[in-house]
Structure 1
Amino acid sequence: MTIPYGRHQIDRADLDAVVDVLENQFLTQGQQVPRFEQALKEYCGAAHTVAVNSGTSALHIACLALGLGPDDWLWTSPNSFVASANCGLYCGARVDFVDIDVKTGNLCLNALAEKLLQAARSNRLPKVMVVVHFAGLSCDMQAIQRLTEPYGIKLIEDASHALGGTYRDKPVGSCVYSDACVLSFHPVKSITTAEGGAVLTNAPEIARQLRQFASHGITRDPDHMEGESDGPWYYQQVTLGYNYRLSDLHAALGLSQLSRLNAFIESRSERAQRYTEALAGLSLRLPGTSSQAKSAWHLYSIGVEESLRSQIFASLQGKGIGANVHYIPIHLQPYYRRMGFKPGDFPNAETFYRQAITLPLFPGLTADEQTRVIQAVKESLN
């Protein structure tokens, strides 16, 4: 049987929570979404949370709420899923990238500092930066804030991999060094709602706009209407919004999962530590770490000799190891190449990709399964 690189973990409590909604509650706009939002903001330490139907939707409305629009620039990491960049295009903005540190897969501070100076000279500074916490390890947000603050750049943390991690002893999602933080609840993430996402922020006005953009651009608040309200049933569409709301079914699953998040992260950390100890001394690049951050260990991404990557990947697959690769650099996708991006633009991200193999890592990975993975890696290298 093939061992997947990631797998969700559902228990009886999760099933019961969903069935209870099906049998006894509203399916869409009941009490589960507000309860889930409250639990998320308490866990992460942010003042406001807006839950939506995907991490991609969360990125989109976060950009909108921060005022990103046509002719603005958005910068992000090329080492991410395409949604981290596409959210800027949805707003009509132009997109560019900042190269990464090959050791961690996260944004390179030196590359950022240099690019900011160049952009200031050419009047191409970004309005928004989407800072991706690759594999669950937070970027150095304090340093990024210090570099970007003089230019008035808004920061969104793309923490789709990082719920349950910490940075400078604060939970990822606390938004101490950012304007907003985006989470994903895809089935292989820290917790799942089947599909879903959320935006956290400490700014009341950003939160209000997030909620409005996620629900058709509609408000029921008389203070934000044009003219007088006709009564308690009344609502107005005051901007162009989207139907990005999360259902109560999904929120019930997420709320149940959230109660076990710390246990999930502990399990991931234990398995990551076992990989690190077992693979130390081999001809591999092991995942980078940080003294300031505790990773949520969404991925365990190793680096191998470029010329051997395809061979090693095929060997693992042949042994029933569902290895994967994260990520094909966004700027090398055909859609982005048509914008003018080309190989060599972000060499560290390209090198990281050519070497990368993601090993199975999830809370339910058994000791025997992990032994199979470790042995397969060693045999593949030999």
Structure 2
Amino acid sequence: MVSDRDRSPMPTALADPLRRPRSWPPSSIVSVSIHGYHRRPTPDPAKRVALAARIVEAIAASGWPSVDAVLLPGGFLRLADPIGHLDEEGRAAALMRRRTVHDFGALSAHLGPSALVAGVDFKPLSRKVGGDQFVAAWRGGGLVALARKTFPADGDTDGSGPIYPVYEEDFASPTRVITLGSGRRAILLGCYDAFGVRSLAHPRFANLTAIRLARDRTGNLRAPSMELRRGFLREWRAMVAEQAPDLGLVAIHNFIRPGADGYWQRHGIAGASAALGAVPVIGAAHFNEGLPILAGLSPLASIDVSTSHLDEGAWRRPHAWRPAASLTLPDADGVPVALIRRFDL
């Protein structure tokens, strides 16, 4: 159900695309969706590194030219001992000290100038406070970005489990925007951050009610007032507008099956493209019960979506962008475990 605030008219002053026309060399983004689960049962990190190695090997052998980035789903790695309470340098150092993560990041050295992007989740801090959800990017074997999710889903904070806390400093951090080999600037979005980025068109397109626990700059956790939430949103909007990303990469956690992603495609993926000025927005996700049987199904990608799309409310169309090429990797039993799709820019 789309709320009434999404049906109100788009302000004329915000109706034009927000990015300046630019020219880049041809390149592509590769998204990789996975058959399986990101949390229950918790995937073995070592097995995930082995799967990622197979994926990187397949892409390297494909002959596909000019790949800017390879995107894996949210929670592709799930680790213990959250690191979000550290500053940005401390987070990066703590993450890369883990052997599994080091081995995973080293795979990016086999992708040439391409970035390897994946979701990295952490188990809850306690029975009441949830863990971290990050999107990380590596290039040439080194970590180049680590972005913590700022916009939780309602299920992250409704009390059905440990409550996911947002951290004030993450809303204004520009380090989630990276420059790719082609010169394009990509914003790394952790799952529901794709819905939050729609606020660039107008604040009403961001759902702030799911922000139920926040840490301020002094390190204290508290239930945030609506005034504080709006302050977070102002910082976020200013950061995204200043960084002016040329595309969005969304590490989505999961869908039960292909076809269950329709709401996300119309309101999350296409909505983010519209708010960012018609830029490409590409996602990758786990599909719990099985991958799409055709590469063009459930693409989790949009491009060239007009800002007027956001005015369509519940009638928003999917604006699905089909991949130019694809590969499928099977497991030992021949069941497809990874769907690798190439989107040409």
* TM tier relative to shorter chain: 0.3 to 0.5
TM-score normalised by structure 1 residue count: 0.31
Query: Larger radius of gyration, structure 1 or 2?
Result: 1
* Greater per-residue strand proportion: 2
TM-score normalised by structure 2 residue count: 0.33
